Structure 1
Amino acid sequence: MRHPIRTPAPLTAALAAGLLLTGCGAPEPLPEVTQGPRPSAAPATSAPAATAAPAAAAASRVTVGGPGTACALPVSFALAEKWEAEAIKNPEDPEFAVLTRQGPAVVRCEVDAKPAGHIGYLRVWTAAGKGPARPALEGFVKGEKDASKAVYKETVTGALPVTEVTYTVHSELLDESKEERAFAVATPKGTVILHVAGLDSEEYRAMLPAYELARSTLKVL
């Protein structure tokens, strides 16, 4: 269901007034969003395994996470075409904790889907500490307001064991629940969480190929 409402600003735009983004210029106006392709049918909303497989995303030549990329992270992964990554500067600043912290995790990077025609984002979060990734992911989901129906599963990406979760969040703006998903991987520098969410469930489903591309190309640095 589409909703004739204002496009929400990404986290990086919300933080720009506090000069938290890399660079110090004034934030530019949000670009006009040209809607990308939509899935032909709504997938199931229970466990990750029950969700219909999305079409593969076209990979750009851009990766994020390694030296010289937009975001310095403990992992690297490929970006889908036209998706744009931007680092969050000073995410540890307690003044902005309501925007930059969720449970045990701190946001480090935001990958914007608007240039690709979708209203949503991938965000990369890190949680300190060694050990399994699942406790940090569970704390992350519990830290999201109005989250429910969380379903976890253990899986493997390449040679990396990861924990993945699907869940719903009630949107006060839309007065309905929308789907979200995240996976977590343990690294020597702590747990990394990659989270995908859109304006609504339709936008979320349209962005799943970019999420799957990031997961399938994930490398621990």
Structure 2
Amino acid sequence: MRHPIRVLVPALAVLTAAGTLTGCLGTEAKPDRAAALPSSPTPSATATKAAAGSIGAPGSACDLPVSFGLAADWKPEAVKATDDEVFAALGRQGPATMVCEVDAKPAGNIGYLRVWTAGKGPARTALEGFVKAEKNTSKVSYKETKAGALPAVEVTYTVYNKLMEESKEERAFAVAAPKGTVIVHLGGLDSAEHRAMIPAYDLARSTLKPL
């Protein structure tokens, strides 16, 4: 089975300020959200629902060191590394290289669940390097957790978006799998979109298996 592979191209550089790698903001306006948002996200019970599909195993959309379940209508696509400056800016962050992104737009949200690999080594070291390489971060908080049956490290933080002149919430978890360290990151157009997508992130974390 053949699957599409996304190659990062120079035109995408204009979207980095909005936190996206594809043209999802070209025709879509920022959704209207209520002014009052909860001070901290509370994952929905839908995170425990059965996965609508999975990625990671050979033959799936993204061949990864781990597999995990996908929420309904989220669309995965492999990311192909290149040696150009654009990929260096968008597809590499600290010790990690992006290898897969799962688009939430078909499910009604503006954001991505992105998978990064960082070679073999401690999960926390890779995750700390990943976050330190992000600009304009604040409120960074790490905790030990589980991803499936594997020990994992999770981070929550905010990133100031200069284009929108506001900070938005982000989070990621990392595991040291036998085939290499994996970081799964959830961003979003803004904090409201981010919070709406947490169930898909929680589903990925709870169903993760090493390959």
Normalising by structure 1, we get a TM-score of 0.78
Residue in structure 1 matching 2:99, options 88, 99, 108: 108
Percent same amino acid at aligned positions?
Answer: 61
Counterparts of 1:218 and 1:165, CA distance in 2: 17
Residue in structure 2 matching 1:56, options 42, 46, 66: 46
2:154 aligned with 1:174: no
- 1:219 is displaced (CA, Å) by 0.4
Residue in structure 1 matching 2:197, options 193, 207, 215: 207
Aligned to 1:122: 113
Aligned to 2:17: none
- 1:60 is displaced (CA, Å) by 4.5
- Runs of 5+ in structure 1 lacking a partner? 1-11, 19-27, 46-50
Q: Which amino acid aligns with 2:74?
A: W
- Runs of 5+ in structure 2 lacking a partner? 1-5, 13-21
Aligned to 1:161: 151
Counterparts of 1:87 and 1:29, CA distance in 2: 16
- 1:71 is displaced (CA, Å) by 0.4
**Relative to structure 1, is the Cα distance of residues 29 and 135 closer, same or farther in structure 2, using a 3 angstrom cutoff?**
closer
RMSD: 2.8
**Relative to structure 1, is the Cα distance of residues 35 and 149 closer, same or farther in structure 2, using a 3 angstrom cutoff?**
closer
Counterparts of 1:133 and 1:77, CA distance in 2: 17
Is contact 1:168–1:177 with CA below 8 Å preserved after alignment?
A: yes
Is contact 2:98–2:115 with CA below 8 Å preserved after alignment?
A: yes
- 1:186 is displaced (CA, Å) by 0.2
